[in-house]
Structures are given as C-alpha cells and as structure tokens.
Amino acid sequence: MDQDSHCTAERELLEAVSRITTSSTTSPSDGEENQPKAEISCQVRKENPEKDDTQDCSATLSPNSSMTTKELQEYWRNEKRRCKQIKLLFEIPSTRIVEHHLSKYVMYKIIILQTGSFDSNKSVIERRYSDFEKLHRNLLEEFSEEMEDVTFPKKTLTGNFTEEIINERKLAFKDYLRFLYSMKYIRRSKKFIDFLTRPELQEAYGCLRGGQYTKALEILLEVIGLQERLTRGNPVAIVPTLCAIVVCHKDLENPASAFEYGEKALSRLPVHTSHRYYIPLLETMITLAYELGKDFLSLQEKLEEWKTKKDPIRVFTLKELAVREYVR
C-alpha cells in the first residue's frame, strides 16, 4: 500500500471509530431505554445530568496523525473505556419485618449495581421507612425546587405490614432512588451520600473504637467501593475511610495491605497538604515503608517539607483521628 492510500485508510478508520465512540457515549443503553417510568410522580429538569461527567474526556479525542492503524485502534479502545459513563442502578428485591422490643418496622433491602458490571461491583444495604422519610425531609430543605413534584409514600394508620403496602413501597422507593440519582446536584449531595453509606460507616467506626478490627475492616471494605462510585467528583471525600482501613490492617498486623491503602489515600491528597489526615498518614506510611523495606526517604522528605512551611502544631496520630470519626 502506498503512502497516500495508507493515510486515507487511517483517516477513514479515525472517522469510523470516532462515530462509534460518539454513539457509545451519547446513546442510552438498552437497559435505560427499556427502564419503566417512575411510579412516583416527578418532573425531571430538562438537562443532561451526565454532561459534566463526559465533557472533559470528549475534549481529548485528538489522536496523533502519525499513529499506525494498529495504534489508532488501540487508542480508540482505550478512549471508549475511559469515557464510558459509570451509573448506578437501584433495586429493592426483598424486605423483612423487624420486631425490636416495643417497636416493629420493615427493612427494605437495597441492591446498588454499577452499570456494565458483575456481582463483584454491587453493594447491599438495608433501610427502613423512617430512613427514607428523613432523607426526603432533608432534601426538601436544600433542593425544594427540584423536589417539589415528588410524591413521597405516606404513612398509613393501619396496614403498614400488609404484603400489598410493602410491595407498593418497594416499587415506590426504587423509583424514588432512581429519580434522585438522575439529578447531578442531588446525587452528589452529602445528604444523599450519607443516606447510602453513613449507617454502615458508623457501625464500622464503632467496631474500630471497640478494638474489633476484623469486623470494622469487613464493613469498611464493603462500603468503600460504593463510596468511591458516589464521590467520583470529590476523591478527597473517601480519605478518612481509606485511612480507617489502614489503621485496621496495621493493628491486624497486615503491613503490606495497610501500605497499599495508605498509597491510595495519599494519591488523593497531592494538593491537599493542609488536610487533617495528611501528616498523620505520612507518618504512618513512613513507619510501614521502613517495616516493609520500601523507600521511605521520599515520604520523609515530604514530611520535612511540610514542617518547614507550617508552624509546628500538635497533630493526632492516624488512629486517634480514625476513632474520632462519627462520634455522636
């Protein structure tokens, strides 16, 4: 093939793959097209809630013209994977009735799935009617305009535990969560994220304070994946959870795992050296690196650099900070 033919073939491939990529990032998935309309009465604002999540990656679609055909194909495969939207789906497959002392209530099992993933990326939580009610009340305070057309399932004087009422609420709450997640400002709000993660985190930190590191670690590892997906636009938000995992692994004498999660936490703080976890985390990482025979000098340099820029102040250890999280 001569040079002109080769260049023509590259241009045609670029144009074809570009059309495929554009289609894959803008067309709704089959699951979304077939998704039933919400039974809760609501009116979604006329906006593209995912626009901000994809505009940055679309700006990078400019491959070098000197790429070979094989390199172009690999480039576009990587771009499609990078630009693919990550969305969460909510299902409420079952419930259970809980009788505790003088109270009786229904717990709704919520499965949160990531689109295009398998069971390894799902999270399972339980919430009761009063939890949903509190979330709705809190969101009304901050997002009154967005929430004005949402009809929340009302309490009934009788029949709250009948199969008919429970099934109606299962469907209503599923649609309710889908509606909330469809709006960018609500799904990124602390109130919405707390509803989905705070009870589990409170339990985990309670176990940590009680020295139950194995149980605390089990819960933290379950919730961290969901936390990451909910806070993609704010990576610093999960630093406390990552540091709590470091503390648990360290106290369980798993230094390699502690160091691994410590690196993840540090990677989220390169421009946040004033963060309350930064110095305690650095000090812990230096200890772990020395124990594991890893390079600790670069970490030590960062610590010394920070000390020269800041006035010496008393800082808590990483464990002291962790046990203070979620203290009522």
Average pLDDT over every residue of 220-243: 94
DSSP secondary structure code for residue 121 in this structure: G
**Which of 147-151, 182-186, 194-198, 236-240 is predicted least confidently?**
147-151
- Over 60: is that where the pLDDT of 38 sits? no
Q: Cα–Cα distance between 242 and 221 in angstroms, integer?
A: 9
CATH number of this structure's domain 197-324: 1.25.40.10
Same fold, 88-188 and 197-324: no
Domain regions of the chain by residue span: 88-188, 197-324
What are the E-state strand segments in 101-185? 103-114, 123-128
- Over 90: is that where the pLDDT of 123 sits? yes
Per the prediction, the chain carries an average pLDDT of 81
Higher-pLDDT residue of 17, 74: 74
* Confidence grade of residue 273 (pLDDT, cut at 50, 70, 90): confident
Which tens digit of pLDDT belongs to each residue from 124-133?
999 999 999 9
Q: Are 106 and 94 in contact (CB under 8 A)?
A: no
Average pLDDT over every residue of 293-313: 85
Find, among 286, 250, 248, 245, the residue nearest to 264 by Cα.
245
Higher-pLDDT residue of 171, 74: 171
Query: Which residues does residue 199 pair with via DSSP β-bridges, in sequence order?
Result: none
Average pLDDT over every residue of 215-239: 94
Q: Are 76 and 91 in contact (CB under 8 A)?
A: no
Q: Cα–Cα distance between 160 and 179 in angstroms, integer?
A: 24
The CATH superfamily of 88-188 is Phox-like domain (3.30.1520.10)
Higher-pLDDT residue of 239, 155: 239
- Over 80: is that where the pLDDT of 269 sits? yes
Q: How far separated are the first and last CA of the chain, in Å rounded? A: 73
DSSP alpha helices (H): ranges in 59-128? 69-83
State residue 80's pLDDT score. 54
